[in-house]
Structure 1
Amino acid sequence: MKILYVTGLVFLLDQASKTLVRSTMDLHQSISIIPGFFNLTYVTNTGMAFGWNFPGGPLFFTTASILLTLVLLRILWKERSGPVLVRLALSLILAGAFGNLFDRLFRSEVVDFFDFYWQAYHFYIFNVADSSVTIGIGLYLWYTLFVHPKTEDTLPTP
């Protein structure tokens, strides 16, 4: 499945960007890129997206990430002949899940560094893997809602 090249490329980009941040910045260091809007800020996260934490901590997130990755691989395999937009969306979600899983398995934490803000509003700091998951989910929802919406003709009969 050639679409897995996208997964591999995004995974490599994610890992390269995290390595660059770890090797050139100090933890909690912030570099202003666009003053008043965007910084590169090196932080680590042992929780989930948006700083969410659950009982079980790192073990829970690592286990959940492994299961999610396996489920995504299975879905991607089932969709191997499906619409390219669906396969692209799933491959982006898989790349992000695998990128953060890799960090959890080998570093026990995820490196985040994209830091957007506007005046008093400060968005959560995130990374390439998080972006990939978000874009993949957005593409999948867009396909589901607008490209291939279910009509009465395609709904199963009871």
Structure 2
Amino acid sequence: MRVLYLTVFVVIFDQLTKVLVKGINIPFLNLDLSGMRYGQSFNIIGEFVKFTFVENPGMAFGIDVGETSKLFLSLFSIIASIGILIYLFKLKDEKLILRLALALILGGAIGNMIDRTFYGIFYGYAPIFYGRVVDFINVDFFDFSIFGRTYERWPIFNIADSAVTVGVILLLIFQKPHSEEKVKDSDEEIKTESGDDINEINSEQMVSVDGENNNRKDNRPVDYSGTEEGKN
């Protein structure tokens, strides 16, 4: 399925940006990228968009689920990614926009799942499944409250979060028309089947009526009054 190229692109782009932000050191490849200091920030578009390096131990957009839930969250990310992939294959004949939306969500889920599952081991600060997600996109926004916290800026996020958000928005926009179209097609199919049944019944009734008429013609008494037999 070609839409999986979009998933692969999201995963690669997401991981590349995270490595550039966090840094990486692979001695046998002679690769040493220092990255940003934790908490370091610099402007991209004035104060409106910044790159700010933070790590999120919880869910998307900085939502903390607590230390005890990290293992569950990591395992859930793996299961969800597998489930979305299977579902995507089942929808291979559906509209492209629906498959693109799911491909974006899958790419974002895999991107953050890699952080949670492997970053702790790779960077040497936690066991498997206990890694922290790298976030860095910092956007100014109007003040709002969610989960009991008030934010003056939008919670810092990453490319994977963005892909999931765009995918969900596409589903919300296009899923309703898609569902209505499927209902319409089902109604038309039912009407067609009903029409075929009615036509079949009418044909059977016509055949029955023709048969009865023929029987009546065959059973009518013969009038011999004008013949020699009638006179005798």
* Superposed displacement of residue 153, structure 1: 3.5
Aligned to 1:4: 4
* Superposed displacement of residue 154, structure 1: 5.3
Residues 88-113 of structure 1 deviation map (CA, whole Å, 9 limit, x = unaligned):
00000000000000111111111000
**Structure 1 residues 142 and 119: alpha-carbon distance in aligned structure 2, compared to 1, 3 A threshold:** closer
Asked if residue 71 in structure 1 is aligned to residue 83 in structure 2, the reply is yes
Alignment counterpart, residue 57 of structure 2, candidates 43, 46, 52: 46
* Superposed displacement of residue 53, structure 1: 2.9
Asked if residue 33 in structure 1 is aligned to residue 44 in structure 2, the reply is yes
Question: Where does structure 2 lack aligned partners over 5 or more consecutive residues?
Answer: 24-34, 120-130, 144-151, 191-232
Asked if residue 58 in structure 1 is aligned to residue 58 in structure 2, the reply is no
Q: Which has the higher contact order (CA 8 A, sep 6+)?
A: 1
Question: Where does structure 1 lack aligned partners over 5 or more consecutive residues?
Answer: none
State the Cα RMSD in Å. Answer: 2.0
The number of aligned residues is 156
* Superposed displacement of residue 50, structure 1: 2.8
* Superposed displacement of residue 149, structure 1: 4.3
For residues 72 and 119 of structure 1, what CA distance do their matches in structure 2 show?
Answer: 33
- TM-score, normalised relative to structure 1: 0.90
Check whether the contact 2:56–2:64 (CA below 8 A) recurs between aligned residues: no
Check whether the contact 1:36–1:118 (CA below 8 A) recurs between aligned residues: no
Aligned pairs for 1:1-150 (under 5 A) are 1-23=1-23, 24-54=35-65, 56-107=68-119, 108-118=131-141, 121-145=152-176, 147-150=177-180
* Superposed displacement of residue 119, structure 1: 7.2
Give the share of equivalent positions with the same residue, in percent. Answer: 39
- TM-score, normalised relative to structure 2: 0.63
For residues 123 and 21 of structure 1, what CA distance do their matches in structure 2 show?
Answer: 19
The farther-off stretch of 50-59 and 61-70 is: 50-59
Q: Which has the larger radius of gyration?
A: 2
